Amino acid sequence: MRVAILASGSGSNAAALMHCFSATEGVDVVLVGSNRSGAGVLEKAQQAGVSSIHFTSDDLAGGVLLKKLKTVNVDWVLLAGFLLQIPIEFCRAFENKILNIHPSLLPKFGGKGMYGMNVHRAVFEAAEKESGMTIHYVNECFDEGEIVFQGRIDVSQLTSAEEISSEVLKLEHEYYPRVASALILDSKTPVK
């Protein structure tokens, strides 16, 4: 199975995925893409020996990125801190083959503008006793695809949004590669 990873930031989850798949028979990360030209994820891809590209929001919306992924025969797309909405045509082309990781227990604290520290601050300010991360299939609506897995932690004793962020990130790095790997290896059917 040929995998593309899309990310907008530093790429710690992308790095965890690339590390996992480098030792996983039957799964190859063939491309890492970012909508930010200076994103750390592009450097992490280079360090891992994976091809990388920068693309614009217009490239995503206009089908240029989709065409590129088809050209390199991508079977699965994994979003790892990717901040742009995925167009419906893209979702249809990779139906049930696009995963995202979100730093809360969806449906809580999801939707437009809810990413990164925005989520953790909202969780902290709401005095939630529990938080975590959600892995879900992607559809054309922010954070509304079918939930595949949730990892939970007790945050009632944590004293800041930064502490919540740190603990949730540990869950993400532990579970995203494992869950994605299991789903990808179980699918066995390349995208046409």
Please write the tens of the pLDDT for every residue from 31-47: 999 999 999 999 999 99
- To the query of whether residue 102 is one of the catalytic residues in this protein, the response is yes
Residues 6+ apart with CB under 8 A from 57: 35, 84
Domain 2-104+134-151+172-187 has CATH 3.40.50.170: yes
Residue ranges of the chain whose pLDDT lies below 50: 191-192
Q: Delimit the domains of the chain by residue range.
A: 2-104+134-151+172-187
Res 187: pLDDT:
81
Res 11: pLDDT:
95
- CB-CB neighbours of 185 under 10 Å: 13
What is the tens place of the pLDDT at every residue in 149-160? 999 999 999 999
**Is 28 within 8 Å of 3 (Cβ atoms)?**
yes
The DSSP annotation for 81-96 comes to S--SPPPHHHHHHTTT
Res 49: pLDDT:
96
Q: Say which of 54, 102, 120, 136 is annotated catalytic.
A: 102
* Alpha-carbon distances, residue 135 vs 80, 84, 112 (angstroms): 10, 17, 17
Res 192: pLDDT:
45
- How far is C-alpha 145 from the geometric centre of its chain's CA atoms? 13
**Can you tell me whether residue 131 is helix, strand or coil?**
strand
Res 189: pLDDT:
55
Euclidean distance between CA atoms 129 and 138, whole angstroms: 27
Res 66: pLDDT:
97
Confidence (pTM):
0.95
